[in-house]
Amino acid sequence: MLDLNNKTSIVTGGGSGIGKAISILFAKQGSDVYILDVDEEGARATAEEINSGNGSATFIKCNVASAEDTSAAINNIVAERSTIDIIVNNAGIAHVGTIETTNESDFERLFGVNVKGMFHVAKAAIPFMKEKGGSILNMASIASTVGIPDRFAYSMTKGAVVGMTLSIAKDYLSYNIRCNCISPARVHTPFVDGFLSKNYPGREEEMFKKLSATQPIGRMGRPDEIAYLALYLCSDEASFITGCDYPIDGGFSKLNN
């Protein structure tokens, strides 16, 4: 079950958090994992951890916001592996602000990574997936469907991710390329710790508890919990699933009053 042997996977943003957990789990299940990231230190550490545990991982420094960077990375992978079986479009950045406090450079920066980044990866990789088929998994967010205060630009980009997912799923049905997305609520990653220390110095513990309590289940998610859902959706066991957005949110989107 959930065997990824002989499958080539690309995970963007695999240097930390959810992307790191996905990279480690996919390698554990037998996939050759290529980590695309601008975080050279974190991504190299993830690859080294995988390789030291008898898995297979390769780090390629890549800014997915750049079409040139992304195309070169995908071409290098295909030159080595001849095929791409799985793409996990996980790389993304966040932003705090309303439409009034979001300036144009913030807007373009968020769109460049969170939307164009996924566009660049999928556009470069799909031609190499059409012969065999495969799975594309995009990282969305519950912010795409639930109103969250001060998250205008971030929510906008994640809504675009859901729309992109549906379009790719529809257009490539005949090529056996499945495309789904995951919408997490708050997940405890290094980003959360950095956000709290930057915005709430001295109140980190208090605010962590407050943010955790917004999930009806009473805590934030863990990166490995997101990775397990990603593994299922990218495995052959999920061969009947495409064009779906999966909330994984501790009840946030349905059980909050």
CATH code of the domain covering residue 117 = 3.40.50.720
Is 154 known to be catalytic?
Answer: yes
Task: Tell which residue, 192, 165, 177, 223, has the closest CA to residue 26.
Answer: 223
Task: Tell which residue, 10, 213, 12, has the closest CA to residue 115.
Answer: 12
Considering the domain architecture, whether residues 29 and 89 belong to the same structural domain is answered as yes
Considering the domain architecture, whether residues 152 and 200 belong to the same structural domain is answered as no
Is the pLDDT confidence value at 257 over 80? no
54: left (phi over 0), alpha (psi -120 to 50) or beta: left
The answer to whether residue 249 sits within a structural domain is no
The answer to whether residue 3 sits within a structural domain is no
CA 202 to mean position of chain CA atoms: 30
The answer to whether residue 250 sits within a structural domain is no
Considering the domain architecture, whether residues 148 and 195 belong to the same structural domain is answered as no
Catalytic residue among 34, 154, 172, 246: 154
* pLDDT at residue number 232: 98
The alpha helices in the chain, defined as continuous H runs, are 17-28, 40-52, 67-81, 104-114, 116-129, 152-171, 190-199, 204-213, 223-234, 252-255
- Percentage of the residues of the chain whose pLDDT score is greater than 90: 95
* pTM for this entry: 0.96
Considering the domain architecture, whether residues 29 and 39 belong to the same structural domain is answered as yes
The answer to whether residue 256 sits within a structural domain is no
Is the pLDDT confidence value at 7 over 90? yes
Domain membership of residue 209 as a residue range = 186-220
Residues counted in the chain: 257
Considering the domain architecture, whether residues 146 and 210 belong to the same structural domain is answered as no
Is the pLDDT confidence value at 152 over 90? yes
Q: Quote the number of domains for the chain.
A: 2
Considering the domain architecture, whether residues 233 and 141 belong to the same structural domain is answered as yes
Q: How confident is the model at residue 198 (pLDDT cuts 50, 70, 90)?
A: confident
Q: How confident is the model at residue 143 (pLDDT cuts 50, 70, 90)?
A: very high
Residue-wise pLDDT tens digits, 155-196: 999 999 999 999 999 999 999 999 999 999 999 999 899 889
Separation between Cα atoms, residue 170 and residue 157, nearest integer Å: 20
* pLDDT at residue number 126: 98
* pLDDT at residue number 80: 96
